[in-house]
Amino acid sequence: MRHYLLDRTAVQTAGQRVGHSFDLGTVTLATPANWDTAAESPNQKARRLARDEVLRWLDFKLQPAPVLTLAPDAANPATHVEATWPTRPRLAYRLERSETLAPGDWTPATSWTDGTGNPSAHQSPLPVGGRVFFRLDYQPVAMPTEAPENAGFFKTYADFGL
């Protein structure tokens, strides 16, 4: 990752480029045992978190969409359906349902849940005398900006007077 200063007409000279130490490849990642300890430098942490964010977005954008599988619930086949889907650790998932397919009729059947790498399942009741439709929404897991170990590490534009 490189950042460049632009002047609306051309890229600035090499001496005017912005180069963060974690962008230059000279900073190695700390061992996992040292993460979020005094043994991990701020540059190592910045590189690790930036790498994690890129991997989350690549997983979201480049991997195939998860396949949602529906089957009668084994315990209540006449009244419930079981939805299953594969998960990936860098993604969060939410199952939604609709009885009409109208844009505003989709309601969450589950809350957002981070993937574990194992399949996830949800049993849902079938409407009496009607149809039900399901869709799986997924997105990258959120950055850990509110985690206690990251207190004061992430900055907002307001922190820089912008």
Q: What is each CA distance from 8 to 4, 5, 12, in whole angstroms? A: 12, 9, 10
79-119: pLDDT as tens digits: 999 999 999 999 999 999 999 999 899 999 999 999 999 99
40-56: pLDDT as tens digits: 988 888 888 988 999 99
Residues 29 and 47 both lie in one domain: yes
* Domain assignment present for 159: no
Question: Which of 135, 94, 90 is closest to 116 using CA atoms?
Answer: 90
Residues 71 and 135 both lie in one domain: yes
- Entry pTM: 0.75
CATH number at residue 89: 2.60.40
Range of the domain at 26: 1-62
Residues 78 and 126 both lie in one domain: yes
Residues 46 and 110 both lie in one domain: no
Question: Which of 135, 132, 87 is closest to 110 using CA atoms?
Answer: 135
Instruction: Give the pLDDT score at 25.
Output: 64
- Angle in degrees, CA 103, 107, 111, rounded to 5: 135
- The CA distance from 100 to 5, in Å, is 51
DSSP three-state, residue 123? strand
118-142: pLDDT as tens digits: 999 999 999 887 789 999 999 999 9
